[in-house]
Amino acid sequence: MKTDLHPRWPLQPSSRASVQCFERGELGTILDELAEECPIALEFNGISHVVMLATPANLEDFGVGFSVTEGIVQQATQIYDVDVESGIDGITVKIGIATVCSEQLKHRRRNMAGRTGCGLCGTESLKEVFRPLKPVIENGPLFQTKYIDRALRAIEPHQLIQQKTGATHAAAWFDLHGQLKLIREDVGRHNALDKLIGAGIRSKDQDWQQGMLMVTSRASMEMVQKAVIAGFQYLVAISAPTRLAVDLAQENGLCLIGFARPGKWTVYSHSDKLDFTNLPTNH
Protein backbone atom coordinates (compact mmCIF):
# COMPACT_ATOMS: atom_id res chain seq x y z
CA MET A 1 0.00 0.00 0.00
CA LYS A 2 1.51 3.30 -1.10
CA THR A 3 1.21 6.48 0.89
CA ASP A 4 1.81 10.09 -0.03
CA LEU A 5 4.28 10.64 2.83
CA HIS A 6 7.22 10.64 0.42
CA PRO A 7 6.01 11.43 -3.12
CA ARG A 8 9.70 11.78 -3.99
CA TRP A 9 12.35 10.49 -1.64
CA PRO A 10 14.61 13.27 -0.35
CA LEU A 11 18.37 13.21 -0.56
CA GLN A 12 18.78 14.47 3.00
CA PRO A 13 19.60 12.63 6.23
CA SER A 14 16.76 13.97 8.38
CA SER A 15 13.57 16.01 8.37
CA ARG A 16 11.23 17.65 10.87
CA ALA A 17 7.83 16.46 12.00
CA SER A 18 5.26 17.87 14.40
CA VAL A 19 4.84 15.50 17.36
CA GLN A 20 3.18 15.50 20.74
CA CYS A 21 5.50 15.33 23.71
CA PHE A 22 4.62 14.53 27.30
CA GLU A 23 7.13 15.84 29.86
CA ARG A 24 6.91 16.84 33.53
CA GLY A 25 3.17 16.38 33.61
CA GLU A 26 2.49 18.53 30.56
CA LEU A 27 1.48 17.62 27.02
CA GLY A 28 2.69 19.84 24.22
CA THR A 29 3.44 19.95 20.50
CA ILE A 30 7.01 20.28 19.30
CA LEU A 31 9.01 19.93 16.10
CA ASP A 32 11.14 16.79 16.24
CA GLU A 33 14.03 15.87 13.94
CA LEU A 34 13.61 12.38 12.47
CA ALA A 35 16.28 10.35 10.69
CA GLU A 36 15.30 9.52 7.13
CA GLU A 37 15.23 5.80 6.28
CA CYS A 38 14.77 5.15 2.58
CA PRO A 39 14.80 2.16 0.25
CA ILE A 40 18.08 2.34 -1.64
CA ALA A 41 18.44 0.14 -4.72
CA LEU A 42 21.98 -0.71 -5.79
CA GLU A 43 22.14 -1.29 -9.53
CA PHE A 44 25.22 -2.64 -11.31
CA ASN A 45 25.54 -2.08 -15.05
CA GLY A 46 21.79 -1.59 -15.30
CA ILE A 47 20.86 -4.72 -13.33
CA SER A 48 19.26 -4.35 -9.88
CA HIS A 49 21.19 -6.32 -7.26
CA VAL A 50 19.89 -5.42 -3.82
CA VAL A 51 17.59 -3.03 -1.97
CA MET A 52 18.78 -1.72 1.38
CA LEU A 53 17.15 0.56 3.92
CA ALA A 54 19.58 3.39 4.58
CA THR A 55 20.01 7.07 5.35
CA PRO A 56 19.88 8.97 2.03
CA ALA A 57 23.21 10.77 2.43
CA ASN A 58 26.71 10.05 1.08
CA LEU A 59 25.24 7.49 -1.28
CA GLU A 60 28.15 7.65 -3.73
CA ASP A 61 30.38 6.58 -0.83
CA PHE A 62 27.88 3.84 0.00
CA GLY A 63 27.93 2.52 -3.55
CA VAL A 64 31.73 2.34 -3.66
CA GLY A 65 32.10 0.86 -0.17
CA PHE A 66 29.38 -1.77 -0.69
CA SER A 67 30.87 -2.78 -4.03
CA VAL A 68 34.27 -3.42 -2.44
CA THR A 69 33.27 -4.98 0.88
CA GLU A 70 30.66 -7.26 -0.68
CA GLY A 71 33.12 -8.52 -3.28
CA ILE A 72 31.19 -7.12 -6.26
CA VAL A 73 34.56 -5.80 -7.45
CA GLN A 74 37.99 -7.04 -6.49
CA GLN A 75 39.51 -3.56 -6.49
CA ALA A 76 38.19 -0.02 -6.53
CA THR A 77 39.60 0.69 -10.00
CA GLN A 78 36.95 -1.69 -11.39
CA ILE A 79 34.29 0.87 -10.45
CA TYR A 80 33.87 3.28 -13.34
CA ASP A 81 31.11 5.64 -12.16
CA VAL A 82 28.42 6.10 -9.52
CA ASP A 83 25.19 8.04 -10.09
CA VAL A 84 22.34 8.65 -7.63
CA GLU A 85 18.77 8.99 -8.86
CA SER A 86 15.80 9.80 -6.62
CA GLY A 87 12.38 8.52 -7.70
CA ILE A 88 8.86 7.94 -6.46
CA ASP A 89 9.51 4.46 -5.06
CA GLY A 90 12.96 5.15 -3.60
CA ILE A 91 16.51 6.02 -4.54
CA THR A 92 18.68 4.16 -7.04
CA VAL A 93 22.46 4.12 -6.87
CA LYS A 94 23.64 3.25 -10.37
CA ILE A 95 27.15 1.80 -10.39
CA GLY A 96 29.17 1.11 -13.50
CA ILE A 97 31.66 -1.73 -13.06
CA ALA A 98 34.10 -3.70 -15.20
CA THR A 99 32.54 -6.30 -17.49
CA VAL A 100 34.35 -9.18 -15.81
CA CYS A 101 32.84 -8.16 -12.45
CA SER A 102 29.41 -7.81 -13.98
CA GLU A 103 29.61 -11.33 -15.44
CA GLN A 104 30.72 -12.78 -12.11
CA LEU A 105 27.87 -10.98 -10.36
CA LYS A 106 25.32 -12.54 -12.67
CA HIS A 107 26.42 -16.00 -11.55
CA ARG A 108 25.94 -15.32 -7.86
CA ARG A 109 23.29 -12.62 -8.06
CA ARG A 110 20.95 -12.46 -5.11
CA ASN A 111 17.86 -10.36 -4.55
CA MET A 112 17.42 -9.38 -0.93
CA ALA A 113 15.37 -6.83 0.96
CA GLY A 114 17.94 -5.24 3.26
CA ARG A 115 17.20 -4.46 6.88
CA THR A 116 19.13 -2.03 9.03
CA GLY A 117 19.93 -4.57 11.76
CA CYS A 118 21.00 -7.53 9.63
CA GLY A 119 23.88 -7.96 7.27
CA LEU A 120 23.02 -11.37 5.83
CA CYS A 121 19.36 -10.94 4.89
CA GLY A 122 18.74 -12.71 1.60
CA THR A 123 22.00 -14.66 1.45
CA GLU A 124 21.12 -17.67 -0.65
CA SER A 125 23.46 -20.32 0.79
CA LEU A 126 25.74 -20.99 3.73
CA LYS A 127 28.73 -20.83 1.39
CA GLU A 128 28.06 -17.13 0.82
CA VAL A 129 28.36 -16.23 4.52
CA PHE A 130 32.13 -16.66 4.81
CA ARG A 131 33.95 -15.13 1.89
CA PRO A 132 37.66 -15.83 1.39
CA LEU A 133 39.61 -13.11 3.19
CA LYS A 134 43.14 -11.90 2.73
CA PRO A 135 44.65 -11.36 6.21
CA VAL A 136 45.67 -7.76 6.82
CA ILE A 137 49.36 -7.03 6.48
CA GLU A 138 51.27 -5.14 9.15
CA ASN A 139 52.05 -1.92 7.32
CA GLY A 140 52.95 0.60 9.98
CA PRO A 141 53.95 1.21 13.58
CA LEU A 142 51.99 -0.20 16.50
CA PHE A 143 48.93 1.82 17.44
CA GLN A 144 49.48 3.65 20.72
CA THR A 145 46.61 2.85 23.06
CA LYS A 146 46.82 6.31 24.64
CA TYR A 147 45.15 7.62 21.48
CA ILE A 148 42.06 5.42 21.90
CA ASP A 149 40.71 7.81 24.54
CA ARG A 150 41.35 10.77 22.25
CA ALA A 151 39.39 9.11 19.46
CA LEU A 152 36.50 8.14 21.73
CA ARG A 153 36.13 11.72 22.92
CA ALA A 154 36.34 13.07 19.37
CA ILE A 155 33.71 10.93 17.68
CA GLU A 156 30.58 12.05 19.53
CA PRO A 157 30.73 15.78 18.66
CA HIS A 158 31.01 14.85 14.98
CA GLN A 159 27.91 12.63 14.94
CA LEU A 160 25.77 15.44 13.58
CA ILE A 161 22.80 13.33 12.44
CA GLN A 162 22.81 11.41 15.71
CA GLN A 163 22.75 14.67 17.68
CA LYS A 164 19.65 15.78 15.77
CA THR A 165 17.77 12.49 15.69
CA GLY A 166 19.25 9.98 18.15
CA ALA A 167 18.69 7.28 15.52
CA THR A 168 21.96 6.69 13.66
CA HIS A 169 25.20 4.75 13.96
CA ALA A 170 28.58 6.16 12.99
CA ALA A 171 31.77 4.72 11.56
CA ALA A 172 34.95 6.76 11.71
CA TRP A 173 38.57 6.57 10.60
CA PHE A 174 41.28 7.87 12.92
CA ASP A 175 44.94 8.18 12.01
CA LEU A 176 47.80 6.74 14.05
CA HIS A 177 47.69 9.78 16.36
CA GLY A 178 44.00 9.43 17.14
CA GLN A 179 42.99 12.34 14.92
CA LEU A 180 39.62 12.07 13.20
CA LYS A 181 40.02 11.90 9.42
CA LEU A 182 36.59 10.76 8.17
CA ILE A 183 33.18 9.94 9.65
CA ARG A 184 29.96 8.67 8.12
CA GLU A 185 26.53 8.02 9.67
CA ASP A 186 23.56 5.84 8.80
CA VAL A 187 20.56 4.22 10.42
CA GLY A 188 22.30 0.90 9.68
CA ARG A 189 25.69 0.09 11.20
CA HIS A 190 26.80 -1.93 8.15
CA ASN A 191 25.76 0.94 5.90
CA ALA A 192 27.71 3.46 7.97
CA LEU A 193 30.85 1.33 7.67
CA ASP A 194 30.38 0.85 3.93
CA LYS A 195 29.94 4.61 3.52
CA LEU A 196 33.12 5.27 5.46
CA ILE A 197 35.13 2.74 3.47
CA GLY A 198 33.77 4.18 0.24
CA ALA A 199 34.66 7.70 1.35
CA GLY A 200 38.19 6.61 2.19
CA ILE A 201 38.65 4.96 -1.18
CA ARG A 202 37.28 7.99 -3.01
CA SER A 203 39.47 10.38 -1.00
CA LYS A 204 42.63 9.03 -2.68
CA ASP A 205 44.41 9.66 0.65
CA GLN A 206 47.68 7.74 0.64
CA ASP A 207 47.38 7.23 4.39
CA TRP A 208 43.98 5.57 4.05
CA GLN A 209 44.06 2.24 5.96
CA GLN A 210 46.66 3.62 8.39
CA GLY A 211 45.20 3.96 11.87
CA MET A 212 41.93 2.52 13.13
CA LEU A 213 38.25 2.18 12.38
CA MET A 214 35.75 2.98 15.12
CA VAL A 215 32.06 2.01 15.09
CA THR A 216 29.34 3.11 17.51
CA SER A 217 27.78 -0.33 17.54
CA ARG A 218 28.55 -3.92 18.34
CA ALA A 219 31.20 -5.70 16.29
CA SER A 220 29.51 -8.47 14.35
CA MET A 221 31.23 -10.97 12.09
CA GLU A 222 30.31 -8.90 9.04
CA MET A 223 31.74 -5.70 10.51
CA VAL A 224 35.03 -7.52 11.06
CA GLN A 225 34.85 -8.94 7.55
CA LYS A 226 34.38 -5.49 6.02
CA ALA A 227 37.27 -4.04 8.08
CA VAL A 228 39.59 -6.84 6.90
CA ILE A 229 38.56 -6.42 3.27
CA ALA A 230 39.25 -2.68 3.57
CA GLY A 231 42.77 -3.52 4.81
CA PHE A 232 42.60 -2.14 8.35
CA GLN A 233 44.53 -3.57 11.28
CA TYR A 234 42.40 -2.04 14.05
CA LEU A 235 38.66 -2.02 14.72
CA VAL A 236 37.26 -0.39 17.86
CA ALA A 237 33.61 -0.94 18.77
CA ILE A 238 31.62 0.96 21.36
CA SER A 239 29.64 -2.18 22.17
CA ALA A 240 30.46 -5.90 22.35
CA PRO A 241 31.84 -8.23 19.70
CA THR A 242 30.38 -11.64 18.98
CA ARG A 243 32.42 -14.81 19.35
CA LEU A 244 32.40 -15.32 15.61
CA ALA A 245 33.70 -11.77 15.13
CA VAL A 246 36.54 -12.40 17.59
CA ASP A 247 37.52 -15.67 15.89
CA LEU A 248 37.45 -14.06 12.45
CA ALA A 249 39.54 -11.11 13.67
CA GLN A 250 42.10 -13.44 15.22
CA GLU A 251 42.39 -15.50 12.05
CA ASN A 252 42.86 -12.48 9.79
CA GLY A 253 45.26 -10.25 11.70
CA LEU A 254 42.73 -7.70 12.93
CA CYS A 255 43.14 -6.14 16.37
CA LEU A 256 39.58 -6.03 17.73
CA ILE A 257 38.66 -3.83 20.70
CA GLY A 258 35.20 -3.75 22.23
CA PHE A 259 33.23 -2.09 25.04
CA ALA A 260 35.27 1.04 24.32
CA ARG A 261 34.80 3.98 26.68
CA PRO A 262 37.27 6.69 27.71
CA GLY A 263 39.55 5.03 30.24
CA LYS A 264 38.11 1.54 29.70
CA TRP A 265 38.14 -0.95 26.82
CA THR A 266 38.73 -4.65 26.15
CA VAL A 267 41.13 -6.15 23.60
CA TYR A 268 39.76 -9.35 22.06
CA SER A 269 42.37 -10.18 19.43
CA HIS A 270 45.94 -9.31 18.43
CA SER A 271 46.94 -7.24 21.44
CA ASP A 272 50.48 -7.63 20.06
CA LYS A 273 49.62 -4.90 17.54
CA LEU A 274 49.16 -2.32 20.31
CA ASP A 275 51.68 -0.11 22.11
CA PHE A 276 50.63 0.01 25.77
CA THR A 277 53.22 2.57 26.89
CA ASN A 278 52.16 5.95 28.21
CA LEU A 279 48.63 4.86 29.00
CA PRO A 280 46.47 7.64 30.46
CA THR A 281 45.89 7.35 34.21
CA ASN A 282 42.83 8.35 36.20
CA HIS A 283 43.36 10.85 38.99
Q: Which active-site residues does the annotation give?
A: 118
Q: Which has the closest alpha carbon to 16: 37, 31, 38, 1?
A: 31
Show the DSSP H helices in 137-273 as ranges.
146-155, 160-165, 189-203, 221-230, 243-251
Query: E strands of the chain, at which residues?
Result: 14-23, 26-35, 38-44, 47-54, 79-86, 91-97, 143-144, 169-174, 180-186, 212-215, 234-237, 255-261, 264-269, 274-275
Give residues with Cβ within 8 angstroms of 161, minimum separation 6.
Answer: 13, 14, 35, 55, 57, 167, 168, 185
